[in-house]
């Protein structure tokens, strides 16, 4: 069970940095916000988010993306390296430098996904595989219609001291994620994802902050993941775009 939860958390971490007819967007219930704000739809919130992080034109110029981030878990440094290439290829490595070893890797070639944990390979199937095809897409917010992702605006809630639009996303497999966008800046502040592991429901919350401009696009440099009793702060150390990653880097072997 612990191994399955670790794999799920690992996949959710990369989903945090990504056709059916969309569900009609619901207006936000009346709040103390102005009427101009309370009449926004989920799609309008997402469109403002895309604009806030750099705009559709700049995002569409990105052919591949590589970023690295570090965290300390139980006194041990962990490095997370993630590479993505359009339309939906992804490769991830999580290493422990002090032990000179890969703890976990994942590769998705657009069709097949495999996770290797402590040297043991495990194919990803079912709902996780279906969702990987969506969440491995670079800037998936630009493609929700084609990907069949339903969007619903569920109100305004506090994230820390900020008011945030609450947007519920549902994939064709039925999986849901709830995302929160600052009502002033439209930057993403928080994401909540849940999944079933046997008879146990596992929930991971990710907080985003410290957005920085990289090649005219804003990326969060601070992520905080909370799952069960674990609270892990991640710091992004580098972001690179359009480095001509090869297709061979994403082969499932």
130/139 Cα distance (integer angstroms): 17
227/71 Cα distance (integer angstroms): 15
Q: How many domains does the chain have?
A: 1
15/9 Cα distance (integer angstroms): 10
In terms of Cβ atoms closer than 10 Å to its own Cβ (0-12, 13-18, 19+), residue 43 is middle
Per-residue pLDDT of the chain (253 residues; tens, 9 = 90+): 444 434 444 444 444 443 222 333 434 443 334 333 457 999 999 999 999 999 999 999 999 999 999 999 888 999 999 999 999 999 999 999 999 989 999 999 999 999 998 889 999 898 889 988 898 999 999 999 999 999 999 999 999 999 999 999 999 999 899 999 999 999 999 999 987 655 677 889 999 999 999 999 999 999 999 988 889 999 999 999 999 999 999 999 8
Angle in degrees, CA 111, 113, 117, rounded to 5: 175
What does the block give as tokens for 33?
């916000």
What does the block give as tokens for 226?
């909370």
Residue-level length of the chain: 253
Please give the residue range of the domain that contains residue 16: 2-250
CATH value at residue 95: 2.50.20.10
Tell me how far apart the terminal alpha carbons of the chain are, to the nearest angstrom.
Answer: 25
C-alpha closest to that of 180 among 8, 5, 20, 28: 28
State pTM to two decimals. 0.85
């Amino acid at each position: 069970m612990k191994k399955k939860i670790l794999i799920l958390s690992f996949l959710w971490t990369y989903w945090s940095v990504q056709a059916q007819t969309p569900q009609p967007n619901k207006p936000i219930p009346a709040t103390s916000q102005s009427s101009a704000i309370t009449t926004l739809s989920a799609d309008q919130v997402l469109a403002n988010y895309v604009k806030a992080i750099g705009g559709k034109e700049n995002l569409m110029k990105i052919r591949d993306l590589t970023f690295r981030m570090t965290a300390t878990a139980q006194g041990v440094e962990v490095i997370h390296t993630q590479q993505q290439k359009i339309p939906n290829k992804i490769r991830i490595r999580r290493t422990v430098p002090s032990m000179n070893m890969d703890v976990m890797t994942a590769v998705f070639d657009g069709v097949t996904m495999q996770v290797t944990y402590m040297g043991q390979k495990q194919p990803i199937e079912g709902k996780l595989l279906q969702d990987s095809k969506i969440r491995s897409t670079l800037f998936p917010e630009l493609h929700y219609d084609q990907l069949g992702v339903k969007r619903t605006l569920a109100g305004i809630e506090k994230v820390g001291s900020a008011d945030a639009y609450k947007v519920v996303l549902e994939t064709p497999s039925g999986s849901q994620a709830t995302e929160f966008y600052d009502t002033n800046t439209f930057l993403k502040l928080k994401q909540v994802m849940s999944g079933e592991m046997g008879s146990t429901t596992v929930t991971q919350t990710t907080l985003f902050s410290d957005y920085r401009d990289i090649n005219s696009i804003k990326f969060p440099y601070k992520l905080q993941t909370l799952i069960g009793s674990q609270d892990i702060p991640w710091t992004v150390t580098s972001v690179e775009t359009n480095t001509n990653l090869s297709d061979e880097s994403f082969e499932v072997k």
